[in-house]
Amino acid sequence: MIRRMATESRDAAHPIPRFPAGFLWGVSTSAHQIEGAVDEREPSVWDAFTAEPGRVKDGSTAAVACDHYHRYGEDVALLAGLGVDAYRFSVSWPRVRFGDGSGLDFYDRLVDELCAAGVRPVPTLFHWDLPAGLDWLDRDTAARFADHVARVADRLGDRVGKWITLNEPAEHTLLGHALGVHAPGRKLLFDALPVAHHQLLAHGLAVRALRAAGATDIGIANSHGPVWPASREPADLEAAAFYDLLLNRLFAEPLLLGRYPEGLGELMPGDVESDLKVIAEPVDWYGVNYYAPTKVGAPQGTEIEFGGVVMPAELPFSVRQIEGRPVTDFGWPVVPEGLTEVLTTFHERYGDRLPPVVITENGCSYEGLDDQDRIAYLDGHLRALHRAVEAGVDVRGYFVWSLLDNFEWAEGYARRFGLVHVDFEDPAALTRTPKASYAWFRDMLRSQR
């Protein structure tokens, strides 16, 4: 059921500047966060993680989530009403592995429905929901992922042109394997580096598999943001540079430059030089997920809680609060100019080695149907993105996170990122209600055409 809510455009007197012709506008979701239908796929590491008491703050699971698996027709209708060019969704590896073949049948139907609605399908082939029994510490998982990619491309490649290999390998490494606050819940700290390497290797193997299937429009969705030193003191500058190396350069430079930043390659497993030739398979565009900058200083010798994550005292840096900025309901600072900064920094740092950029995620968590704060957030970030375009960055698209309120990983259902409200209090109905931001984004898209 979809309940309609009308609203007028936010700021007709000061419209968003026009983006280049052919600019791709879309919204994003991920399979585990919205699909539900847990009995119609194999288990994932997230199923095991959420079954452990205390892992998810509200004690919930994604067993039903938004029930997109059964209600995808409603959600495609919302996409059509929004007027987006493209829909970024993820293909659940555990669902594709399900023995009766129904998983691929589902994505077949979804892609057909999207095409019929005039919405371009943009699948992400891994968005954190690793099949149970597989492990990113194991090199063989990268090869298995390539097999998965080939199978999906064989089924959907006649209608899908644009592909994304992985979503945010940095966060999956840090939160899931270094700090233990996401699945699979390991606390390995720097011993988690092989997880990063094997995901990057999986990306390169996936690019090869997609090329073999005839794909010509391939990217990755990496999370990036500016790192701001807490002060100009040498210890703070050194800590910030190290954080930038771990969260930005570690995941960009193997792809773009074919090498790890100084000192990191020797910490990776296997024949790193040979692997880098695979990792650096050329992509057609580079996806950036942006939410906020990070302020970093020297270690303070104590645990620090930041953004719902406890940072151990033994880390060689400390994450600090960015003062004087509004924050989202998640407590994340709202810094639109950080989007301009990260894009222009990458443009200057990598030059012609940086392919065209697509913003594959950008969004915020706010309560309420009349979500004026989300409208202000999107308005500010689109203007910041346009400034990056004016500065010479080749930006080809922008995807809002997210279409629907969803299962927000370890936060459960307490954080609402959607342009569309989902009534989780009534799991039988799961009524979708477009928010004010949905209408604002729809009207902004009309103004761009």
- Annotate 174-185 with DSSP letters as a single string: IIIIIS-SSTT-
Kindly state the tokens that stand for 97: 């592995």
Is residue 283 included in any domain, yes or no? yes
Check pLDDT > 90 for residue 5.
no
For residues 159-169, average pLDDT: 98
Check pLDDT > 50 for residue 10.
no
Active-site entry in 35, 341, 361, 408: 361
168 included as an active-site residue:
yes
Is residue 10 included in any domain, yes or no? no
For residues 163-192, average pLDDT: 98
d(CA 205, CA 208): 5
For residues 82-109, average pLDDT: 97
Is residue 317 included in any domain, yes or no? yes
CB 164 within 8 A of CB 89: no
For 229, the 3-state DSSP assignment is: strand
d(CA 95, CA 34): 13
For 333, the 3-state DSSP assignment is: strand
Peptide bond into 316 cis (omega under 30): no
In eight-state DSSP terms, residue 353 is G
**What is the residue type of 246?**
L
Kindly state the tokens that stand for 410: 């370890």
Is residue 44 included in any domain, yes or no? yes
Range of the domain at 342: 24-447
Could you tell me the pLDDT band of residue 9, with boundaries at 50, 70 and 90? Answer: very low
Q: How many domains does the chain have?
A: 1
Active-site entry in 35, 168, 253, 408: 168
Interstrand relation of 217-223 and 286-289 (parallel, antiparallel or unpaired): parallel
Q: What is the pLDDT of residues 260-319, one digit of tens each?
A: 999 999 999 999 999 999 999 999 999 999 999 999 999 999 998 877 788 999 999 999
d(CA 170, CA 291): 14
Task: List the CATH number of the domain containing 440.
Answer: 3.20.20.80
Cβ-count burial of 2 within 10 angstroms (0-12 exposed, 13-18 middle, 19+ buried)?
middle
Is residue 379 included in any domain, yes or no? yes
For residues 207-213, average pLDDT: 98
For 342, the 3-state DSSP assignment is: helix
Is residue 36 included in any domain, yes or no? yes
Q: What is the pLDDT of residues 387-421, one digit of tens each?
A: 999 999 999 999 999 999 999 999 999 999 999 99
For residues 317-326, average pLDDT: 96
Is residue 122 included in any domain, yes or no? yes
Is residue 299 included in any domain, yes or no? yes
C-alpha angle with apex 197: 263 to 139, nearest 5 degrees?
135
